[in-house]
Amino acid sequence: MNKTARELVSGQQVEWVRPDDLVDQALQKMAKHDLTALPVVEPSTGTAPGAIKGFVDVVDLVAFLANVGTRTMTNPYGAGESRSIATDDMAILHRRSKEFRITNTVEVSDYCKRNPLHKVNQNMSAKDLIHFFGKSNEYIHRVAVVDDNHNLIGVLTQSMLLRCIHGNLSQMREINDLKAGSLRMTEVNKLATVPADMVAFDAFMTMHKEGLSSLAVVSSNGEIFENISATDLKGALTDFKRLLLSVRDYLAVTRALVIGKKRAEGLVYCEREKSLVEVMNRINETRVHRLYVVDEQRKPVGVVSLTDIYHNLQRVIA
């Protein structure tokens, strides 16, 4: 708990993009390094990062998809028009996917208007970082750690900080007394579900409209089946036609191609009576960003995100 921000990111190799790099280059880098965001940075000298301009996040890319995917576009050969990916012919679909190859990353930084840039000084303590991430009126997923000259030295995420501090936190009685079913949830992380047979593009549009980064995927009887998140958009990188698959088929195809070897597969959930410590342990073990809370029939009744965890932690940590 006494570590500084600089110590927490020590040894980190920062992956970043330049303002004039293209969106599809950012997507490729995210997929390659299993990242959900990249800092947009003006180079200082050579290949070293300099002053950070913002982040480009997978949620920004979902918002960008919502814009690109619902514009009225005409067939370049003059044969009709389409108002959505769902009604595109191949020529128009190609035109839409091209937008990701001609747009600069700086143009989509905080495109969703939910992930503004947050910078912290390298000397901020872990305890102060908990309170920073747990601000009740903000939803902070990551911070840029900067030196005294405001140059980027690392990126600290909610997950990274939790892995460093959860051992200390598990010893606190106040935290052990908190249960998953009674945590104070944030409105931004409200539970939303979609059927497994919904078209993947429509699921991403639902995610965007609801202002969420993930949705619970349920079977016909309401039982939780999977989770689709903004991160899964990386699976459409090389073939936009995949967005027309059902959510079930889209996840089966794209996770095998993009993230199947890098993160825990399958759904992660817990029961209402699990303690916050058990929730944190499960998140650390699986490297997920949220746990769904289910009832006895495995029907989703809530979701505990990393943001929820920090909002609750800052209430009990003096």
What is 5-62+105-174's CATH number?
A: 3.10.580.10
pLDDT of 145 over the 60 cut: yes
* Least-confidence region, from 4-8, 176-180, 192-196, 268-272: 176-180
At 189, the pLDDT band (50, 70, 90 cuts) reads low
Which sequence spans correspond to the domains of the chain?
5-62+105-174, 178-316
pLDDT of 169 over the 70 cut: no
The kind and range of the H/E element at 142 are: strand 142-146
Q: Is 178-316 the same fold as 5-62+105-174?
A: yes
Give pLDDT, residue 37. Answer: 95
As a dihedral over the C-alpha atoms of residue 170, residue 174, residue 176, residue 182, rounded to 10 degrees, the angle is -130
Average pLDDT over residues 62-77: 91
Give pLDDT, residue 260. Answer: 43
pLDDT of 93 over the 80 cut: yes
pLDDT of 188 over the 70 cut: no
* Least-confidence region, from 195-199, 229-233, 253-257: 253-257
Average pLDDT over residues 239-255: 92
pLDDT tens, 249-275?
Answer: 999 998 877 544 444 345 788 888 888
Give domain 178-316's CATH architecture. Roll (3.10)
At 183, the pLDDT band (50, 70, 90 cuts) reads low
The percentage of residues in the chain with a pLDDT greater than 90, rounded to a whole number, is: 51
Give pLDDT, residue 194. Answer: 96
Average pLDDT over residues 220-231: 93
Give pLDDT, residue 264. Answer: 39
Average pLDDT over residues 89-113: 93
As a dihedral over the C-alpha atoms of residue 291, residue 295, residue 299, residue 300, rounded to 10 degrees, the angle is -30
* Least-confidence region, from 57-71, 190-204, 289-303: 289-303
CB 26 within 8 A of CB 164: no
pLDDT of 79 over the 80 cut: no
User: CA separation (Å) from 263 to 34, 35, 36, 199, 292?
Assistant: 8, 11, 12, 24, 17
Helix runs in 9-122, H state only: 23-33, 58-68, 90-102, 105-108
Give pLDDT, residue 166. Answer: 75
pLDDT tens, 115-134?
Answer: 899 999 999 999 899 999 98
User: CA separation (Å) from 173 to 122, 169, 240, 282, 316?
Assistant: 30, 9, 49, 19, 10
For CA atoms 82, 83, 85, 91, give the dihedral sign: positive
pLDDT tens, 25-62?
Answer: 999 999 889 899 999 998 776 666 678 999 999 999 99
User: Could you tell me the two tokens for 51?
Assistant: 């002053």
Give pLDDT, residue 180. Answer: 67
**In sequence order, what are the residues at sequence separation of 6 or more whose Cβ sits closer than 8 angstroms to the Cβ of residue 87?**
none
Give pLDDT, residue 181. Answer: 62
Give pLDDT, residue 109. Answer: 95
Give pLDDT, residue 110. Answer: 94
pLDDT of 233 over the 90 cut: yes
Q: What is the 3-state secondary structure (H, E, C) of 185-238?
A: CCHHHCCCEEECCCEHHHHHHHHHHHCCCEEEEECCCCCEEEEEEHHHHHHHCC
